[in-house]
Amino acid sequence: TGLSEHERAMVERRQRLLGPAYRLFYEHPVHLVRGEGAWLFDAEGNRYLDCYNNVASMGHAHPRVVEAIARQAALLNTHTRYLHETVLDYAEALLATFPASLGHAMFTCTGSEANDLALRIARAHTGGEGIVVTSLAYHGVTSSLAELSPSLGEGVPLGRHVATVSPPDAYRGGAEMPARFAADVAAAFAGLARHGIRPCALLVDTMFTSDGVFPDPAGFLAGAVEAARAAGALFIADEVQPGFGRTGAMWGFQRHGVEPDIVTMGKPMGNGHPLAGLVIRPALLERFGGQVRYFNTFGGNPVSAAAGLAVLGVLREEGLAENAAAVGAYLLDGLGALASRCAIIGDVRGAGLSIGVELVRDRGTKEPATAETGRLVNALRERRVLISASGPGANILKIRPPLCLTREQADLFLDTVDEVLGSW
Ligand code: PMP
């Protein structure tokens, strides 16, 4: 599959050293050595357009973030059991991006740990266990999160305290979707209660990324949040994917006019440096804080806090959320124009630079074009444009470039998709 001798040896070495649980992207794996903005470079110096990596949202190897990390690492790295200004400056700057009701910040190293901590706190506060998630959700890698991440497949069983609801799919669900989604959430908590499982939380990615990217209609989440609260559950917004400007706003939940009880975040928070965490309404933390001494060796360390501060500075000063809104709208327009010429494109949807493109065999039946989507993803990789796909039929392109994507780079993406689809 186009692998050089050296690459073939690396694949073999990976399997020998890392074992069978890891997976590579693409039929023809990519060996990257350097990044800059939305560009990535392989070991031979070939340039790729990154339309998928949702961690380096400020752009790969952003010099200001790199400098902040290096400066603090050269000075001191400890943890949160000593006084240090930087974690306080960071908490202040981060909390300032949220509604005033979210008054405390806690730090971890991964999004999984942030969700795990959110669940511990929510359980302590509600006294309940029942969690409702969407049917292709992904919330993390630990045992407590794998059991509520149905996108991991049948090999990873859901917990008994977990109920799923169908994703808020307006393409298939039509105008009734918001009401149906809210009713499904209410029914899921009622179903758990019938088995003696008391409500704890509704946990959703506010862009429903792994379900297939479902942003519309803006505001639809409000009814589901209301249903969860009526059942006695908290609303936890998982902003690991939509957060930090990706949707064109700072946070994905803003699109829905809702105020979460807890917000979890990660991925772009340190632009590649492992930094994650949560913000929460202070009253919800009281019981947990009274019972638990929370210490996370690396979470909130001075180097991570410096990285986080630099990210917030870059986001603001470079206007990256605004750029995501503008270039995202431009990409959506371009994809819409492509859809008018290519029958395989059934739906185009997105907010900012979080975009889903659903490929179907037939616009009437909406039969997923699963194999074709795999072919397109691999053909784009051969033309050095990197994306991937998700959804129950693996037929929904997920487009999530760094937020600094330019119009010229958006054109390159559109032209390359056009070229591949036009050649079929
Ligand atoms: N929540 C969501 C929505 C995610 O997409 C991910 C990672 N893909 C996580 C949580 C887990 O984050 P991490 O891999 O940093 O543990």
Closest ligand 1 atom to residue 112 Cα is 16
Tokens matching residue 184: 């499904």
Residue from 236, 267, 271 to probe ligand 1 pocket by mutation (most atoms less than 8 Å from CB) = 267
Beta-bridge partners for 205 = 238
Rounded to two decimals, the pTM is 0.98
- pLDDT at residue 137 above 70? yes
For residue 395, is pLDDT > 70?
yes
Please tell me the residue having the least CA distance from ligand 1 atom 13.
111
pLDDT tens-digit series, residues 331-357: 999 999 999 999 999 999 999 999 999
Per-residue pLDDT, averaged over 348-368, amounts to 98
| pLDDT of 2 over the 90 cut | no
Residue 159 C-alpha to ligand 1 middle, in angstroms?
18
Give the Å distance between the CA of 241 and the centre of ligand 1: 7
Confidence of residue 1 (pLDDT cuts 50, 70, 90): low
Any alpha helices (H) in 96-216, and if so which ranges?
111-126, 143-146, 170-173, 177-194
Q: What is the pLDDT of residues 287-340, one digit of tens each?
A: 999 999 999 999 999 999 999 999 999 999 999 999 999 999 999 999 999 999
ipTM reported for the complex surpasses 0.95: yes
Candidate of 241, 262, 273, 298 to mutate for ligand 1, largest count of ligand atoms within 8 Å of Cβ? 241
- For the purposes of burial, counting CB atoms within 10 Å of the CB of 10, is it exposed (0-12), middle (13-18) or buried (19 or more)? middle
Tell which residue, 301, 298, 206, has the closest CA to residue 244: 206
Q: Mean pLDDT for the chain?
A: 97
| All structural domains of the chain | 31-58+319-422 (3.90.1150.10), 63-317 (3.40.640.10)
pLDDT in tens, 202-216: 999 999 999 999 999
Residue to mutate, 22, 108, 131, 139, ligand 1, most ligand atoms under 8 Å from C-beta: 139
What spacing in Å lies between the alpha carbon of 111 and ligand 1's midpoint?
5
Question: How many other CB atoms sit within 10 Å of the CB of residue 12?
Answer: 10
Band of residue 3 on the pLDDT scale cut at 50, 70, 90 = confident
Separation of 95 CA from ligand 1 center, angstroms?
Answer: 21
- Looking at ligand 1, which residue's alpha carbon is closest to its atom 10? 139
State residue 400's pLDDT score: 97
Give the distance (Å) from ligand 1 centre to CA of residue 291: 27
Percent share of the chain, pLDDT over 90 = 99
Q: Is the pLDDT of residue 67 over 80?
A: yes
Q: What is the pLDDT of residues 151-205, one digit of tens each?
A: 999 999 999 999 999 999 999 999 999 999 999 999 999 999 999 999 999 999 9
Residue 395: φ, ψ to 5°: -120, 15
Residues with CB under 6 A from ligand 1: 110-112, 115, 138-141, 205, 238, 240-241, 266, 276
Quick: pLDDT tens for 10-34.
999 999 999 999 999 999 999 999 9
Cα 10 from Cα 342, distance rounded (Å): 38
